[in-house]
Structure 1
Amino acid sequence: MKFTSKYIAFASAALMLVSCDLDKLPDGQYVTEKQKDETNDKRPNMVIAEVNGMAAKMNCFGTISDDVNEYHSDFGVPAVSLQLESSGQDFVATTSGYNWFNRAQNYSDRVYTDKTGAEFIWKIFYNHMQAANNVLLSAPKDSDDPDLKIYRGQALASRAYDYLNLVQCFQFTYAGHENALAVPIVTETMTTEELESNPRATVQQVYDQIMNDLNEAIELLDGYVHGAANKDKIDIHVAYGLRARANLLMQKWADAAKDAEMAMAGGSPQSLKDVSSPTFNSSTVSSWLWGIVITPDNEVVTTGIVNWPSHLCSFTGNGYTTLTGAFRFGNSALYDLIPATDIRKQWFVSPEKTSTLIDNETVGGESVIDYFGLSPYVNTKFGAYQNTFGNSTNSSDWPLMRVEEMILIKAEGEAMSGNLTAGKATLEDFVKTYRDPSFASKATSPQDLQDEVWLQRRMELWGEGFSLFDILRLKKPIVRKGSNFAASVQFDLAPESQIMIYRVPQCEMEANQGIEESDNNPAAPQPTL
């Protein structure tokens, strides 16, 4: 019997949990530095709690509503990643039924009154930023305490991460848009009055803030390595990785390659054997530099279905994918581009309904494909919790940065900075060793190598939230026609189509007197066939 035919009572069930606090910005609810210092003398663990709070803000339910039955796409940064993936060209899903991200797929979430679109992204990253700013108030720049220096470095890098996401969601890419309006800059020293009248900064100003934060973070975190058990914390390698991303976006190619190499020292790629079974569900593997560590008692897990495995994992025993058939598929056009010798072709069920990752696996005496009702192009990349097919506990970790991404940044940065030979060598060494022994770069120019890296990113990072950002960074079109997208969303978009980015949400426009209607991004019509 196909698993997808089983009755689902959970969709209407009331789920009991305590939601994350909604931190409405601007709020100005900051105590003075003197008060913080006095409190820290009495309660030193308070700063640690604030640091832990930064991690918690990335993985919580209740950002846009505390009613668990209202938005099942409200589960933190992993939900933002699935939303952005749904807006691209490689991440396919049903357009109806239980696809909670269908509004991102058809771009109807670009309306600035849509709570699941701009408002959700805005609040996720500004709430996380507020947590970082709270740490910065507790860990002043002039502190000599070695622990406070680390906490400050982590907070600065966290804030830079937020800006990196916000600036790419709410404005086109850095190159050519340096003077365009992006997002307001919020720092720990701002007064209530400043927060309530805080205009959109330019793209250049936001990147200046990002680089200032990361430069200081790298200085403060020098020598600090978080260890395998604490990958939800930022260490020196993650800070370098974030700066590598920023430099790549600014087309500072040599700097991007150098920072990526520094980040790579924090891990090693998953081997060909490692990725020959469903994986990408645990931060303990060698390749994860940074991730969201999710435990069974976390509120997004106790909801049962308001979490990323429910929407993405094809092997969960309790999710929208397997219980309703709302699977996530790879684009058939991308599948056709993956060489037969590349293990990543097996990260998707073939048109003949096979994948070497699961062909010999069974559940209850049935093949995995038959038990879960898998169809062509369904992803097999993301394993169930504890690598147990049908596990009903959705407590899998979420990747935020992997060493494989850093290797690809290094290859692109080397080639685009004038060293094509080095870029090809970096790319070939990674792919041939870890993914496709038959790979050979055919690039004869830096731009050729850049496109090869882009294809590698599309394959390697599929589903992890990079797809739309890469399209925007490289100024590529979105091509869905002639693929397995549903007919209603099988449209193409020209490079830098206005609909690709979000508008400043209505909630911010109403709270922030510094942004007028004329300051917002232009409205754009929903794409049509």
Structure 2
Amino acid sequence: MRKILKLTLVAAILSFSFGCNEDILDNSGVSGTSQQTTNLTSAQLEQGALTNLGIPAAFVGGMYAQMIQFGSGGTTGHDDFGHKSYDVFSDMLSGDMALSVSTYGWYRASITEFQAAQDFTFGDNRQVWRYYYRIVRSANGIIQNLGGNDAVPVVDANKYSMGQAKAMRAHSYFYLTQYYQREYNGSEAILPMYDTPSGTNVAKSTAAEIYDLMEKDLRDAISLLNGFNRTAKSSVNQDVAKVLLAYVLGARGGNDAEVASLTQEVINSGNYNILSTSELVAAAGGVNGFDDVASPSWMWGIDITANNGLGLVSWWGQIDSWSYSYAWAGDYKAIDADLYAAIPASDARKAQFFGNPASGRYLQPLYKFRASDQIGGASQTVTADYVYMRVEEAYLLNAEANANEGNEAAARTSLKAVMTNRVPDVTYIDALSGQALKDEIYLQTRIELWGEGKSFLALKRTKRTATRGSNHLSFVGVPIPYNDERMQFEIPLDEIQNNPFVNDQNN
């Protein structure tokens, strides 16, 4: 696969070039403080004179590099490996991913037993907080160096860099809102909001103010990224920004018509294809739709190579039993037993999970995520790719939004487009309406996107209750509503101690 931009190389360039500063790759503070900004002249920005990558492009590459960086949440833990770390957190919080065997203890107490969500001194609170604010600060540095929040760069390359930075700032604030607010309440003060590379702490802004910034950033990004032809899927393009805006609007509520419109634009673009039946189940030597950024349904993801230096401490190292991994060695991650039971035998996706109840690996995703042909892997180096977004998300968000709007025919059309490649007969969808249609869309979202970090977002967006099946190690059968305190992280101790404007542990 052709790789135009090695993110590790970009990170090295930035570290070397700005070694005298604690630049955007350092971000040693917890939220707004301890961030020094490297300012560039307008001539440098317009000429892109620093490297052959160009200054803005190098900064953007460094921002993306943090998404796969070990320790980017400020720890040395083996659950701290960038954005995909928090896909695991959220899948476990939703209950759709079960920790069915725990030998090494990762995720057990803090996440699956909800201790971090109820104790602000737990490190996982700080880890999530630090990672996303780190991306925010990187984005703020790029935006500032390109003229500030209201600037529209003249040079196309800089315009595209600005668009990506704004999209990533919104992406990070979106995940912060999902983790640190139980449900959308516009008047509730929830998070410090930084939209410039400030060295000054600020008080918490209201949810409405933060959502307003996210919406503005993403609308700006959609405009700025018009005409951007990315060289790798690791970059956010206009389609990705549209789906991110759909997620933000869906979480805020009351915006179903625009969610439907945005996602329909992505569907109509023809730039991506729903995975075929043959791509759903990974057999030895077969086609795998979940390990290669070239997969036709992937809208956003990263081509992982040996140069990235990923191994045990990675998403694959936690989830995939075919890798040298915790999932192989004794921390088993499996689909929730009740969710698995809800998948019909005729659904091709049922075969993604190991269905032998006599095996200790029962319900592991052995045939959805498969990085090798040997359990435990022959290599300790990860080269399977990371997926951040697939086009199936656009179809399912479109179906959900249309169902909420009462446009049930349109909702059924989008749902059937996904299900045509999953089950032999989709005509059952024609009989669904009202709550039954919404329930089916929610169920298919959970099944289709299992293990991809989207179940928690859907749980909160559709205001559902999670009830764990029999293969979990704790809280089996306990109904936990989407807005329960156990579904929300606490503002971390470091922030409370270091930011005098955030002086309580209650969100």
TM-score w.r.t. length of structure 1: 0.82
Q: For the residues of structure 2 that align with 1:54 and 1:484, how far apart are their CA atoms?
A: 38
Which amino acid counterpart does residue 263 of structure 2 have in structure 1?
A
Partner of residue 431, structure 1: 419
User: 1:293, CA displacement in angstroms?
Assistant: 3.1
1:108 to 99, 107, 115: 115
Q: What is the count of residue pairs matched by the alignment?
A: 463
SS at match of 2:466: coil
Tell me the residue number matched to 2:297.
Answer: 287
C-alpha deviation, 1:451, in angstroms? 1.4
Letter in 1 for 2:292: S
Alignment of 1:302-321 (within 5 A): 304-316=311-323, 318-321=324-327
Normalized against structure 2, the TM-score is what? 0.86
Cα root mean square deviation, aligned:
2.3
Residue 99 of structure 2 contacts residue 333 of structure 2 at CA under 8 Å; is this kept in 1? Answer: yes
Q: Is 1:272–2:258 an aligned residue pair?
A: no
- SS of the aligned residue for 1:478 comes to strand
Distance 1:254 1:489, change over 3 A: same
Change (3 A) 1:381 1:450: farther
* Aligned with 2:452 (options 447, 451, 464): 464
Q: CA deviation at 1:122?
A: 0.7
Q: Deviations over 1:332-378 (max 9, x none)?
A: 1111110111111111111457xxxxxxxxxxxxxxxxxxx763211
Aligned to 1:5: none
| Structure 1 residue runs of 4 or more that deviate by more than 4 Å after TM superposition | 30-33, 64-67, 386-389, 487-490
- Assess, with a 3 A threshold, how the Cα gap between structure 1 residues 268 and 388 changes in structure 2: closer, same or farther: farther
Structure 2 SS opposite 1:327: strand
Name the residue aligned to 2:60.
51
8 Å CA contact retained: 2:99, 2:332: yes
Letter in 2 for 1:435: R
Instruction: Tell me, yes or no, if structure 1 residue 347 matches structure 2 residue 383.
Output: no
What residue is the counterpart of 1:165 in the other structure?
A: 175
Q: Contact between 1:62 and 1:75, CA under 8 Å: does it hold in 2?
A: yes
Distance across 1 between alignment mates of 2:482 and 2:226 = 40
Are 2:364 and 1:375 equivalent residues in the alignment? no
After TM superposition, the structure 1 = structure 2 runs for residues 43-442 of structure 1, keeping only pairs within 5 Å, are 43=50, 45-65=54-74, 67=76, 71-94=77-100, 96-102=102-108, 103-110=110-117, 111-115=119-123, 117-140=124-147, 141-174=151-184, 177-188=185-196, 191-192=198-199, 195-196=200-201, 198-227=202-231, 230-251=232-253, 252-264=255-267, 265=269, 266-277=271-282, 278-299=288-309, 301=310, 304-316=311-323, 318-322=324-328, 324-351=329-356, 375-385=361-371, 390-392=377-379, 393-432=381-420, 434-439=421-426, 440-441=428-429
Equivalent residue of 2:94, what SS? coil
> Structure 1 pair 498/31, CA: closer, same or farther in 2 (3 Å)?
closer
For residue 183 of structure 1, what is the amino acid of its counterpart?
A: L
Offset from partner CA, 1:461-503 (integer Å, 9 cap, x none)? 11111222222222211201x5221256553323421121111
User: Does structure 1 conserve the Cα–Cα contact (< 8 Å) formed by 2:99 and 2:334?
Assistant: yes
Q: Which runs of 5+ in 1 are unaligned?
A: 1-19, 354-372, 522-529
Q: Could you say what secondary structure the match of 1:273 adopts?
A: helix
- With over 3 angstroms needed to count, the CA separation of the structure-2 counterparts of 1:429 and 1:397, relative to structure 1, is same
Q: Deviations over 1:239-279 (max 9, x none)?
A: 11111112222331111011112223231111111113254
- SS of the aligned residue for 1:484 comes to coil
Amino acid at match of 1:500: M
Residue identity over aligned pairs, in percent, reads 27
**1:94 Cα deviation after fit:** 3.8
Please say if residues 291 and 397 of structure 1, whose CA atoms lie closer than 8 Å, have aligned partners that are also in contact.
yes
1:3 is matched with none
> Which residue does the alignment assign to 1:363?
none
Given the alignment of the two structures, is residue 497 of structure 1 paired with residue 484 of structure 2, yes or no? yes
**Offset of residue 63 of structure 1:** 2.7
Distance 1:441 1:332 in 2: 24
Q: Is the contact between residue 470 and residue 477 of structure 2 (CA under 8 Å) also seen in structure 1?
A: yes
Q: Could you say which residue in structure 2 is the equivalent of 1:449?
A: 437
Residue 240 of structure 1: SS of its match in structure 2? helix
Q: Deviations over 1:408-438 (max 9, x none)?
A: 0111112211211111122113202x21122
- Alpha-carbon distance, 1:223 to partner: 2.2
